[in-house]
Amino acid sequence: MLFYVRTFGCQMNKADSEVAAGTLLAAGHLETTDPAEAELIVINTCAVREHAVDRLYGYVNSLKSPLKHNQSPLLAVGGCVAEQKRSALWKDLPQTDIIFGTSAFHLLPQAIDRAAKGETRIDLLQATELLPDHLHVRPEDPWRAWLPISRGCNNFCSYCVVPYTRGREASRALDIVLTDAKTLVARGAREITLLGQNVNSYGNDLGEPGLFAHLLSSLDDIPDLRRVRFLTSHPKDLSPATIAALAASANACEHVHLPLQAGSDRILTAMNRGYTLDKYLERVEALRAAIPGVALSTDLIVGFPGETEEEFNETLAAVERINYDSAYTFIYSPRPGTPAAELPDEVSWRTKETRLRQLIELQSTLSDRACQAYLGRVVEVFVIGPSRRGEVSWTGRTRTNKIVNFPAAGAWAGRFASVRITGAGTASLTGSLCGPIE
Ligand code: SAH
Ligand code: SF4
Ligand code: F3S
Single-letter amino acid code for the residue at 269: T
Higher pLDDT, 314 or 65: 314
Decide: 316 in ligand 1 pocket, CB within 6 A.
Answer: no
Alpha-carbon separation of residue 110 from 6, 104, 123, 130, 350 (angstroms): 20, 11, 12, 17, 48
Right CATH number for 2-124 from 3.10.20.30, 3.40.50.12160, 3.40.120.10, 1.10.3720.10? 3.40.50.12160
Q: Whose CA is nearest to atom 1 of ligand 3?
A: 46
User: What confidence category does residue 135 fall into, taking pLDDT thresholds of 50, 70 and 90?
Assistant: confident
**Distance in Å, CA 411 to ligand 1 centroid:** 38
Closest to 269 in 3D by CA, of 424, 159, 129, 135: 159
Residues 321-338 pLDDT 10s: 999 999 999 999 999 999
Write the DSSP symbol of residue 252.
B
C-alpha span between 408 and 433 (Å, rounded): 7
Residue to mutate (ligand 2; options 48, 153, 199, 333; most atoms within 8 A of CB): 153
Alpha-carbon separation of residue 319 from 166, 261, 297, 365 (angstroms): 30, 10, 10, 11
Decide: 335 in ligand 1 pocket, CB within 6 A.
Answer: yes
Residues 356-370 pLDDT 10s: 999 999 999 999 999
Residues of the chain with CATH 2.40.50.140: 378-437
Query: What pLDDT does 133 receive?
Result: 79
**The 295-302 sheet, strands edge to edge:** 255-257, 295-302, 326-331
- DSSP state letters, 82-126: HHHHTTHHHHH-TT-SEEE-TT-GGGHHHHHHHHHTT--SEEETT
Which H or E element spans position 145? strand 144-148
Ligand lying nearest the CA atom of residue 78: 3
Single-letter amino acid code for the residue at 121: R
Residues 333-354 pLDDT 10s: 999 999 999 999 889 999 999 9
CATH topology for the 378-437 domain: OB fold (Dihydrolipoamide Acetyltransferase, E2P) (2.40.50)
Decide: 49 in ligand 1 pocket, CB within 6 A.
Answer: yes
> Which residues contact ligand 2 via a Cβ below 6 A?
153, 155-157, 160, 162-163, 197-198, 234
**Distance in Å, CA 160 to ligand 1 centroid:** 6
Q: Whose CA is nearest to atom 24 of ligand 1?
A: 332
Ligand lying nearest the CA atom of residue 331: 1
Q: Whose CA is nearest to atom 1 of ligand 2?
A: 160
**Residue 13 Cα: closest atom of ligand 3:** 6
**Residue 197 Cα: closest atom of ligand 1:** 1
User: What confidence category does residue 139 fall into, taking pLDDT thresholds of 50, 70 and 90?
Assistant: confident
pTM for the full predicted model:
0.96
- Phi–psi pair at 188, nearest 5 degrees: 115, -5
**Residue 9 Cα: closest atom of ligand 3:** 6
Residue to mutate (ligand 1; options 330, 331, 333, 353; most atoms within 8 A of CB): 330
Query: What pLDDT does 235 receive?
Result: 98
User: What confidence category does residue 63 fall into, taking pLDDT thresholds of 50, 70 and 90?
Assistant: confident
Residues 397-418 pLDDT 10s: 999 999 999 999 999 999 999 9
Query: What pLDDT does 66 receive?
Result: 47
Alpha-carbon separation of residue 192 from 17, 105, 145, 398 (angstroms): 17, 21, 5, 14
Q: Whose CA is nearest to atom 10 of ligand 1?
A: 299
Query: What pLDDT does 172 receive?
Result: 95
Residues of the chain with CATH 3.40.50.12160: 2-124
Asked if 192 contacts 228 with a C-beta cutoff of 8 angstroms, the reply is yes
Query: What pLDDT does 136 receive?
Result: 85
Right CATH number for 144-370 from 3.40.1190.20, 3.40.50.720, 3.40.50.1110, 3.80.30.20? 3.80.30.20
Write the DSSP symbol of residue 154.
S
Region of 320 please: left (phi>0), alpha (psi -120 to 50) or beta.
alpha
Residues of the chain with CATH 3.80.30.20: 144-370
| Residue 206 three-state SS | helix
Ligand lying nearest the CA atom of residue 168: 2
> Which residues contact ligand 3 via a Cβ below 6 A?
9-10, 12-13, 46-48, 79-80, 161-162, 165-166
